[in-house]
Amino acid sequence: MYKKIMVPVDLAHADRLDKALTTAADLSRHYKIPVCYVGITATTPGPVAHTPEEFKSKLDAFAKDEGAKRGIDASSLAKVSHDPSVDLDETLVSALNEIGADLVVMASHVPGVPEHIFASNAGYLASHAPVSVLVVR
């Protein structure tokens, strides 16, 4: 039914993502399809990594770890955004097209990006992405 699952993650708050990650892994095993973890970083040093390159390697390690732990086929994609406070949603949509996923599993807000009045990230994706979006609360 599905080909690939995209799971947006925030490495700074990976501990709070467990429910979404478990759900994605269950679906992955059920449909026997791969999962791609997508992370977004700015070019400036942040809490997770000093550079985009370091961010990429950490995300990669995270995906390998998750894949081994949960027994699923996992990969990762790191996207760089000039202005993550604003561009996060659009960057997620472009990541979706880039990896060709047709199902998104995500926490209601990418944790760590505090809720704000403009839109929830999952809300934006659900209304703008051309694929199914499962919002985990």
Partner 1 sequence: MSDQADMLSPDGEANIIETEYEVGQDNIQTNIGPFGLDIHNPVFMISGLTIVAFVLFTLAFQDAAGPFFNDLRGTITSIFDWFFLSAANIFVILCLVLIVTPLGKVRLGGTEAVPEYSYTGWFAMLFAAGMGIGLMFYGVSEPISHFSSSLAEGAGSPESWAPLAGAAGNEAEAQRLGMAATIFHWGLHPWAIYAVVALALALFSYNKGLPLTIRSIFYPIFGERVWGWTGHIIDTLAVFATLFGLATSLGYGAEQANAGLEFLFGWTVTDTSKVFLIIAITAIALISVVAGLDAGVKRLSEINMVLAAMLLLFVTLVGPTTEIIRGFFANLGAYAEYLPSLSNPFGRADDNFRQGWTSFYWAWWISWSPFVGMFIARVSRGRTVREFITCVLIIPSLVSVFWMTAFGGTAISQIVNDGYTAVSDASLELKLFVMLDQLPLAQITSFIGIILVIVFFVTSSDSGSLVIDTITAGGKVDAPVPQRVFWACFEGLVAIALLLGGGLGALQAAAVSTGLPFTLILLLACYAIIKGLRSEPR
Token output for 34:
């791969």
Neighbour-count burial of 52, counting CB atoms closer than 10 A to its CB (0-12 exposed, 13-18 middle, 19+ buried): middle
Q: Which one of residues 1, 15, 32, 83 is an interface residue with partner 1 (CB under 8 A)?
A: 83
Q: How far is the CB of 88 from partner 1 (least distance, A)?
A: 8
Please tell me whether residue 57 binds partner 1 under the rule CB under 8 A. yes
Distance, in Å, from the CA atom of 50 to the CA atom of 59, rounded to the nearest integer, reads 13
Q: How far is the CB of 71 from partner 1 (least distance, A)?
A: 27
Q: How far is the CB of 46 from partner 1 (least distance, A)?
A: 5
Among candidate residues 12, 31, 27, 29, the one with its CA nearest the CA of residue 112: 12
Please tell me whether residue 47 binds partner 1 under the rule CB under 8 A. yes
Q: Cβ closer to partner 1: 1 or 83?
A: 83
Q: Which stretch binds partner 1 (CB under 8 A): 14-22, 50-58, 68-76, 93-101?
A: 50-58
Please tell me whether residue 94 binds partner 1 under the rule CB under 8 A. no
Q: Which one of residues 18, 64, 86, 127 is an interface residue with partner 1 (CB under 8 A)?
A: 86
Taking each helix axis as running N to C, give the angle between helix 52-70 and helix 18-31, from 0 to 180 degrees, rounded to the nearest 10. 60
Window 99 to 118, contacts with partner 1 (CB under 8 A) = 113-118
Among candidate residues 103, 104, 105, 96, the one with its CA nearest the CA of residue 23: 105
